[in-house]
């Protein structure tokens, strides 16, 4: 049954209430601190289809041949996340390249690989062409594509051909690469697809005699932005997050940042140290910084103090922030960026309190390592701000007691699962945010000398995490009820603005993401809608909104210029409510501009086939003093001119 969206002109309030009416008084003069813009931060990790298969435009899997190309073609494996009781998900477990030609015609050169551990070599003879193909591409009619292949030969006489073939064998594109030499040459190609095909196959084959090596291959849509997907970048600009945490997450504790610099094709592919699949190292510091520049966000880099060394971390800071004549600054300049990046925000690793974290160690040992790392990082650049690893309880308390001189913020992480009761489900994130704020205030009071340092929380991972992995590893689908919970969570961050300085929704794309992608499209998942709406329209100066609100979760804030009050209301119930609004020391206008996210079923969701089942709809609240109807299962935001 197709679910329909209810478009009701109402105000920002959400509630399931026995009464048909609630009353709220807003006092524009009762200012309560300021909402930090960093509350709207995001987090991207080298995991699943967040970066590769999501943000990054590369269409080929394993383009640098981490896996050996074998006669037996069986690229996919299945796995499941038992901890989160998720269904199985598909992941790359062997080479995605199949052998074209006789068995044994493709081998792997391990003595002088182009990059990584080995490089495929094809042996051709008269009337016996050989090569490789990757039959898992999605090609769109009329779309332009660009690619390249690095080739060399040995006693090779003949020609090498690149082609794209549809499932029925129709050639969509073909070109020859001539003059094959004993040294690698990179051959570029481009084409406009004559027709659509899925799965299409990219083939690199040779005819003639001799052997040829395939160093690396690449294929991207021609409209990519420095390697990033244009459609995803457009959504990131709409999201307008002020800061992005990268590259992990669990990933960072096994990541060497040097693998991600230098010529992209020569960066070695690795096994992902924390998750399934491989890490091609196509996205490193320079690519990440280019993305931040494109979308107008600040970088927030996590460093490896898990398996990494203090020296590696110090050199990474110098690589990013050191002058062009410093040792790492010289290397940065050689790689194309003479000017320092001036990265301000640095996370000192991730979740070191957990035994799942690479390099995990007892708390008594970790506090020493944190302080040692922090001292070394600040010696390189005294202006940076450090975020330490926190987890409420003994870990956070000890970090504040022993490391408060070596960090500016303390991180916390929260995730919530599914609950059958919708109202209870929507309140989970807010409850955890509230409890962690209370614990943090307690530490501030109890630990001598910490309160004056005002070390606030960076909730640099927070989200719902449950359900089947439909969009790759951790690629869960979100529903209207999750959007209601994210909005309620934002309200709780606002209420506790004395404690929370930063929050980073985890993660942005596909992996428990607010944006989902297919090979050809990108769209908003349910949780992305409140994040975008509040960032764009909600005020920054909290003011009191008091009254009997029932099950509604309501928050008010003035705009920065003081000319309007924004009111946000979440109704997590199946009952519409009339909101009677009063303005203390002022008179309400007759109407107000507003926006609403609502539906007739809390399980509603967006998909690649129905990308606007849930949307943000612009509304106008009419006859404001008489009362506004807050529909069931809704998020409403209104801007009331003072």
Of the listed 461, 473, 492, 537, which one is catalytic? 461
Residue in 387, 382, 391 with CA at minimum distance from that of residue 407? 387
Length of the chain: 642
The residue to which tokens 């990440």 are assigned: 288
Peptide bond into 199 cis (omega under 30): yes
Question: Is the distance from CB of 56 to CB of 229 less than 8 angstroms?
Answer: yes
- d(CA 471, CA 482) in angstroms, rounded, equals 17
Of the listed 287, 351, 408, 473, which one is catalytic? 351
Question: Is the distance from CB of 584 to CB of 28 less than 8 angstroms?
Answer: yes
Strand 385-388 to strand 409-416: parallel, antiparallel, or no bridges (unpaired)? parallel
Question: Is the distance from CB of 434 to CB of 492 less than 8 angstroms?
Answer: yes
Strand 564-571 to strand 634-641: parallel, antiparallel, or no bridges (unpaired)? antiparallel
Q: How many CA atoms lie within 13 A of 405 on its CB side?
A: 7
Residue 351: active-site member: yes
- Per-residue HEC secondary structure of 302-332 comes to EECCCCCCHHHHHHHHHHHHCCCCCHHHHHH
The residue to which tokens 């489900």 are assigned: 425
Question: Is the distance from CB of 284 to CB of 259 less than 8 angstroms?
Answer: yes
Handedness of CA 508, 514, 515, 518 (dihedral sign): positive
Exposure string over 137-147, b if 16+ CB within 10 A, otherwise e: bebbeeeebbb
Q: What are phi and psi of 230, to 5 degrees?
A: -60, -40
Strand, coil or helix: what is 439? helix
Residue 461: active-site member: yes
- d(CA 166, CA 172) in angstroms, rounded, equals 7
406: its two tokens: 């070596």
Residue in 55, 47, 58 with CA at minimum distance from that of residue 233? 55
- Determine whether 535 is exposed, middle or buried from the number of CB atoms within 10 Å of its CB (0-12, 13-18, 19+): middle
Q: Where are the alpha helices (DSSP H) in 130-201?
A: none
Strand 171-177 to strand 119-124: parallel, antiparallel, or no bridges (unpaired)? unpaired
Question: Is the distance from CB of 577 to CB of 552 less than 8 angstroms?
Answer: yes
353: its two tokens: 């309190």
Q: What are phi and psi of 291, to 5 degrees?
A: -65, -45
Active site amino acids = 351, 461
């Amino acid at each position: 049954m197709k679910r329909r969206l209810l478009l009701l002109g109402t105000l920002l309030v959400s509630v399931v209430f026995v009464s048909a009416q609630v009353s709220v008084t807003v006092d524009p003069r009762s200012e309560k601190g300021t909402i930090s813009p960093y509350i709207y931060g995001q987090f991207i990790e080298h995991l699943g289809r967040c970066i590769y298969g999501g943000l990054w435009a590369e269409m080929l899997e394993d383009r640098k041949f981490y896996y050996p190309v074998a006669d037996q073609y069986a690229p996919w494996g299945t796995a499941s996340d038992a901890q989160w009781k998720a269904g199985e998900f598909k992941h790359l477990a062997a080479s995605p390249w199949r052998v074209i030609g006789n068995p044994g015609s493709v081998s792997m050169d391990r003595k002088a690989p182009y990059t990584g551990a080995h490089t495929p070599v094809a042996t051709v003879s008269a009337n016996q062409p050989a090569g490789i193909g990757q039959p898992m591409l999605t090609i769109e009619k009329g779309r332009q594509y660009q690619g390249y292949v690095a080739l060399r030969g040995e006693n090779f006489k003949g020609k090498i051909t690149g082609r794209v073939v549809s499932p029925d064998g129709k050639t969509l594109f073909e070109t020859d690469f001539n003059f094959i030499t004993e040294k690698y040459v990179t051959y570029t190609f481009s084409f406009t697809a004559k027709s659509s095909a899925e799965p299409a196959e990219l083939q690199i084959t040779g005819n003639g005699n001799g052997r040829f090596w395939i160093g690396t291959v690449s294929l991207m849509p021609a409209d990519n932005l420095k390697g990033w997907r244009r459609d995803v970048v457009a959504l990131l600009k709409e999201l307008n997050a002020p800061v992005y945490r990268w590259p992990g997450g669990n990933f960072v504790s096994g990541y060497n940042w040097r693998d991600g610099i230098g010529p992209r094709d020569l960066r070695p592919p690795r096994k992902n140290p924390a998750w399934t699949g491989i890490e091609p190292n196509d996205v490193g510091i320079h690519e990440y910084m280019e993305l931040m520049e494109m979308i107008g966000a600040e970088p927030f880099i996590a460093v490896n103090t898990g398996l990494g060394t203090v020296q590696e971390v110090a050199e990474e800071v110098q690589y990013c922030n050191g002058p062009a004549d410093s040792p790492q600054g010289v290397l940065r300049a050689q790689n194309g960026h003479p000017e320092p990046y001036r990265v301000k925000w640095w996370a000192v690793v991730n979740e070191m309190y957990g035994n799942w974290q690479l390099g995990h160690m007892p708390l008594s040992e970790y506090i020493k390592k944190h302080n040692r790392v922090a001292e070394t990082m600040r010696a390189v650049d005294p202006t940076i701000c450090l975020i330490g690893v926190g987890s409420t309880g003994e870990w956070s308390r000890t970090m504040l007691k022993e490391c408060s001189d070596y960090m500016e913020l303390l991180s916390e992480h929260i995730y919530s699962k599914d609950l059958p009761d919708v109202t209870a489900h929507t309140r989970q994130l807010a409850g955890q945010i509230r409890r962690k704020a209370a614990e943090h205030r307690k530490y501030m009071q109890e630990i001598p000398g910490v309160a004056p340092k005002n070390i606030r929380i960076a909730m640099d991972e927070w989200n719902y995490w449950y359900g089947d992995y439909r969009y790759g590893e951790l690629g869960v689908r979100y529903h209207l009820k999750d959007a209601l919970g994210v909005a309620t969570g934002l309200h709780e961050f606002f209420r506790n603005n004395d404690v929370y300085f930063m929050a980073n929704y985890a993660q942005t794309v596909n992996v428990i993401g607010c944006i989902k992608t297919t090979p050809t499209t990108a769209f908003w998942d349910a949780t992305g809608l409140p994040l975008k709406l509040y960032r764009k329209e909600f005020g920054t100066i909290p003011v009191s909104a008091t009254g009997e609100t029932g099950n509604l979760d309501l928050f008010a804030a003035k705009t920065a210029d003081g000319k309007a009050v924004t009111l946000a209301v979440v109704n997590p119930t199946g009952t519409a409510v009339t909101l009677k609004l009063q303005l203390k020391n002022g008179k309400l206008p007759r109407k107000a501009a507003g926006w609403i996210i609502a539906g007739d079923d809390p399980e509603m969701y967006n998909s690649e086939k129905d990308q606007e089942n849930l949307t943000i709809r612009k509304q106008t609240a009419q006859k404001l003093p008489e009362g506004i109807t807050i529909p069931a299962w809704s998020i409403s935001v209104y801007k009331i001119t003072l």
